[in-house]
Amino acid sequence: MTPSPLPHGLWGVLATPFHGPRLEVDIESLQREVDLYLGVPADGLVVLGVFGEGVALDSVEQAAVVSEVAKRAPGTPLVVGVSARTTAVAIEQARTAVAAAGPDLAGVMVQANTADPAVLTRHLTAVHEATGAGVVLQDYPEASGVRITAEQVLEVVTDCPFVVAVKSEAPPTSVAIGRLTARSDVPVFGGLGGVGLLDELAAGAAGAMTGFSHPEGLRAALDAWTRGGYDTARDAFAPWLPLVNFEAQPGIGLSLRKTILRERGVFSEAAVRPPSRTAPQEILGLMPDHLTAARGILASTHPHDERS
Contact residues for a copy of itself, defined by CB under 8 A: 53, 55-59, 61, 84-89, 91-92, 113-114, 119, 122-123, 145-146, 171-175, 178-179, 182, 195-196, 198-199, 202-203, 230-231, 234, 237-239, 241-242, 245-246, 249-252, 273-275, 279-280, 282-283, 285-286, 289, 292-293
Closest separation in Å from C-beta 7 to a copy of itself: 25
> How many other CB atoms are found less than 10 A from the CB of residue 126?
15
- Sequence-distant (≥ 6) Cβ neighbours of residue 229 within 8 angstroms: none
Q: Cβ of residue 103: shortest distance to a copy of itself, in angstroms?
A: 25
Instruction: Give the contacts of 149 (CB within 8 A, at least 6 positions apart).
Output: 115
Q: Cβ of residue 242: shortest distance to a copy of itself, in angstroms?
A: 5
Nearer to a copy of itself, 158 or 276 (CB): 276
**Which residue, 92 or 269, has its beta carbon nearer to a copy of itself?**
92
- Which segments within the chain are labelled E, that is strand? 9-13, 18-19, 24-25, 44-47, 78-82, 105-111, 135-139, 163-168, 188-190, 207-210
Between residues 76 and 138, which has the closer beta carbon with respect to a copy of itself?
Answer: 138
Considering the complex, state which of residue 80 and residue 279 has its C-beta at the smaller distance from a copy of itself. 279
- The residue among 94 and 106 lying less far from a copy of itself, judged by its C-beta, is 94
CB of 91 within 8 A of CB of 126? yes
Nearer to a copy of itself, 163 or 233 (CB): 233
- The distance of closest approach from Cβ of residue 223 to a copy of itself in the complex, given in angstroms and rounded to an integer, is 17
CB of 224 to a copy of itself, least distance (A): 13
Q: Which of 91, 89, 52 shows the shortest CA–CA distance to 69?
A: 52
d(CA 186, CA 72): 28
Backbone angles phi, psi at 207, to 5 degrees: 150, -165
- Measured between alpha carbons, how far is 280 from 175 in angstroms, rounded to an integer? 34
Q: How far is the CB of 4 from a copy of itself (least distance, A)?
A: 28
Closest distance of CB 217 from a copy of itself, Å: 12
When the beta carbons of 61 and 269 are compared against a copy of itself, the nearer one is 61
* Number of helical (H) and strand (E) elements in the chain, helices listed first: 13, 10
